[in-house]
Amino acid sequence: MEVVRLRYGNTNTFFVRGDMGGLLVDTDMAGSMGRFFKALKRAGIRMGDISWAMATHFHPDHAGLLGEMQAMGVRVLLLKEQEGYAGYSDRIYERMGAEYRPVDRAKALFYEGYNCAQAVMGAFAPDAGLSMEDACRVSANFGGGMKMAATCGAVTSALMVLGLYGIEDPVTVGELFRTVRDNHNGCLNCADLLRMNREAGGAKKPHCDGMVYEAVTLLEQILAKSGKI
């Protein structure tokens, strides 16, 4: 058995690796997913190594990421004695006005090494009933402009997210397509977008980060307007 301490906030998080899988004990506050992924990377641990997660108690700084863990396919363990306290942090977060948006999940996924299309799809899929594993598998070949520098993976994945939420009318789909295109001098192809960014003196990673965040933010607006979220 291996025990690794992950420190990325105010709480000690422990990863326990055993013969049957990995257990994550305690998480930090909601909104700390980006720091959590950095801690995983430093320790050489991937999300796929985490089979279960649990909180020793349900204060906000010990259970803040359990919902995100569950959405990403991790099974959350709950002791019988904890049944009446599982929603304790939710009520506190409501009073605090804390909010964990899809763009936060996209940032965390992109940081861990998922491609642009997977980050966009993964930001919304769990809330639409599609597991993170299936979402990343479906969108895998759309990253990097379908792996041939064609249409940007953030854009093609955004179209898939609309379909996942049952939105397929030409007006809404066209709105998303045109908005991204107009924001980038009429270009949607990965090769052209990267070329323009390079000519402007920009680095590749911040550009691709920006495309992912732009697509996710636009999707949030469209889904909210359509009453889907």
Ordered DSSP codes for 116-167: HHHHHHHHHGGGGT--HHHHHHHHGGGHHIIIII-B-HHHHHHHHHHHHTT-
pLDDT at 99: 57
Same-domain pairing of 111 and 52: no
Same-domain pairing of 132 and 24: no
Same-domain pairing of 115 and 66: no
> Which of 53, 84, 100 is at the close of a domain?
100
Same-domain pairing of 150 and 62: no
pLDDT at 85: 58
**Tokens 């422990």 map to which residue?**
14
pLDDT at 10: 77
CB contact at 8 A, 43 and 112: no
Same-domain pairing of 77 and 118: no
Same-domain pairing of 168 and 57: no
Same-domain pairing of 72 and 115: no
196-225 CB burial, b ≥16 within 10 A, e <16: ebeeeeeeeeeebbebbbbbbebbbebbee
pLDDT at 128: 87
Same-domain pairing of 7 and 93: yes
> How far is residue 181's CA from residue 186's CA, in Å, rounded to a whole number?
5
Same-domain pairing of 120 and 82: no
pTM: 0.65
> How far is residue 58's CA from residue 62's CA, in Å, rounded to a whole number?
6
> How far is residue 99's CA from residue 212's CA, in Å, rounded to a whole number?
19
pLDDT at 16: 95
Phi, psi dihedrals of residue 77, rounded to the nearest 5°: -95, 135
> Which of 100, 116, 150 is at the close of a domain?
100
Amino acid at 54: M
Strand partners, 52: 23, 75
pLDDT at 84: 61
- The domain of 119 spans 103-225
Same-domain pairing of 89 and 182: no
> How far is residue 229's CA from residue 222's CA, in Å, rounded to a whole number?
9
Mean pLDDT by 10 residues, the chain (229 residues): 87 91 88 80 86 85 80 79 59 52 80 87 87 88 94 95 94 91 92 92 88 92 89
Same-domain pairing of 109 and 219: yes
Q: CB within 8 A of 28, min separation 6: which ones?
A: 8, 9, 10, 11, 13, 35, 36, 61, 62, 64, 65
User: What does DSSP say about strands 2-7 and 21-25: parallel, antiparallel, or unpaired?
Assistant: unpaired
The CA radius of gyration of the chain, in Å to the nearest whole number, is: 19
pLDDT at 89: 54
pLDDT at 91: 52
Q: What is the CATH number of the domain that holds 96?
A: 3.60.15.10
pLDDT at 100: 59
Q: How many CB atoms lie within 10 A of CB 125?
A: 27
Same-domain pairing of 142 and 52: no
> Which of 32, 65, 100 is at the close of a domain?
100
Q: How many domains does the chain have?
A: 2
